[in-house]
Chain A
Amino acid sequence: MAANHNKTPAGPTVFINARLVDPGARRDEPGGLLVRDGVIADIGGHLRRNAPEGAEVIDCRGNVLCPGLIDMQVFMGEPGYEHRETIRTAGEAAAAGGVTTIVVMPDTNPVIDQVALVDFIQRRARDNCVVNVRTCAALTKGLEGKEMTEIGLLQRTGAIAFSNGKNSVADTKVMRSALLYSRDFDALIVHHPEDHYLAAGGAMNSGAMSARLGLPAAHKMAEVIILERDIRLVEMTGGRYHAATISCAESLGVVKAAKARKLPVTCSVSMHHLTLNETDIGPYRTFFKLRPPLRSEEDRAALVRGVANGDIDVIVSSHDPQDADVKRRPFAEAEPGAIGLETLLAASLKLHHEEKVDLASVLRPLTINPAKLLGLASGRLDKGAPADLTLFDLNMPWVVDRDHMKARSKNTPFDEVTLLGRVLRTMVAGETVYQYA
Chain B
Amino acid sequence: MFKHRHLLTCATLSAEEITSLLDVADKAAELNRQVNKKRELLRGRTLINLFFEPSTRTQASFELAAKRLGADVLNMNVATSSMSKGETLIDTAQTLNAMRPDIIVVRHHAAGAVELLSQKVSCSVINAGDGAHQHPTQALLDALTMRRAKGRIAGLIVAICGDVVHSRVARSNIDLLNKLGAHVRLIAPSTLLPPQPDLLGVKVFTDMWKGLEGADVVMMLRMQRERMSGSFVPSTREYYHYFGLDEEKLECAKPDALVMHPGPINRGVEIASTVADGAKSVIHEQVEMGVAVRSAVLESLARHLPNT
Contact = CB atoms under 8 A, between A and B. Distances in A.
Interface of A: 140-141, 146-153, 174, 177, 180-181, 183-184, 237
Interface stretch (B61-69, B149-157, B225-233): B225-233
Contact of A184 (B206, B230, B232, B241): B206
A152 B237 CA distance: 11
A147 B190 contact: no
Given A177-B232, A184-B207, 7 more contacts: A141-B230, A147-B230, A148-B234, A181-B191, A181-B233, A184-B190, A237-B190
Interface string B132-162: 0000000000000000000000000000000
A148 B237 CA distance: 13
Closest 9 CB pairs of A and B: A147-B230, A184-B206, A150-B238, A150-B234, A180-B190, A181-B191, A148-B230, A180-B191, A153-B238
Nearest to B235: A150
B189 interface: yes
B232 A152 contact: no
A152 B230 contact: no
A150 B238 CA distance: 6
A147 B234 contact: yes
22 contacts: A147-B229, A147-B234, A148-B230, A148-B234, A149-B230, A150-B234, A150-B237, A150-B238, A151-B238, A152-B234, A152-B238, A152-B241, A152-B242, A174-B231, A177-B231, A177-B232, A180-B191, A181-B234, A183-B190, A184-B189, A184-B190, A184-B207
A184 B204 CA distance: 12
Given A140-B230, A147-B229, A147-B230, A181 B237 contact: no
B189 A147 contact: no
Contacts of B189: 181, 184
A322 B195 CA distance: 45
Interface of B: 189-191, 206-207, 229-235, 237-238, 241-242
Contacts of A140: 230
The main secondary structure of chain B at its interface with chain A is: loop
A140 B229 CA distance: 11
Contacts of A147: 229-231, 234
A153 B238 CA distance: 6
Contacts of A237: 190
A237 B189 CA distance: 12
Contacts of B207: 184
A151 B233 CA distance: 9
Contacts of B232: 177, 181
Nearest to A146: B230
A141 B237 CA distance: 15
Nearest to B238: A150
B230 A153 contact: no
Per DSSP, chain A at the interface is helix
Contacts of B229: 147
Nearest to B188: A184
B236 to A, nearest CB: 10
B156 to A, nearest CB: 26
Contacts of A141: 230
A181 B235 contact: no
A183 B207 CA distance: 12
A149 B234 CA distance: 5
Nearest to A140: B230
A153 B232 CA distance: 15
A151 B232 CA distance: 12
A151 B189 CA distance: 12
B44 to A, nearest CB: 53
Nearest to A179: B190
B147 to A, nearest CB: 33
A433 B191 CA distance: 45
A148 B232 CA distance: 8
Contacts of B231: 147-148, 174, 177
Contacts of A184: 189-190, 206-207
| Most chain B CB inside 10 Å of its own CB: which residue of A146, A147, A174 | A147
A408 B196 CA distance: 52
Nearest to B193: A180
B40 to A, nearest CB: 55
A17 to B, nearest CB: 51
Contacts of B233: 181
A181 B241 contact: no
A237 B196 CA distance: 11
Contacts of B235: 150
A96 B54 CA distance: 66
B167 to A, nearest CB: 18
Contacts of A174: 231
Contacts of A181: 189-191, 232-234
A237 B191 CA distance: 10
A146 B229 CA distance: 10
Nearest to B230: A147
A177 B192 CA distance: 10
A306 B117 CA distance: 61
A147 B235 CA distance: 10
A349 to B, nearest CB: 42
A153 B237 contact: yes
A146 to B, nearest CB: 7
Nearest to B242: A152
Max chain A Cβ within 10 angstroms of own Cβ: one of B191, B206, B233: B191
A200 B233 CA distance: 31
B188 to A, nearest CB: 9
Contacts of B242: 152
A363 to B, nearest CB: 37
B18 to A, nearest CB: 34
B163 to A, nearest CB: 14
A149 B230 CA distance: 7
A226 B268 CA distance: 39
| Listed residue (B229, B235, B238, B242) with the most chain A CB atoms within 10 angstroms of its CB | B238
A152 B189 CA distance: 11
A241 B241 CA distance: 25
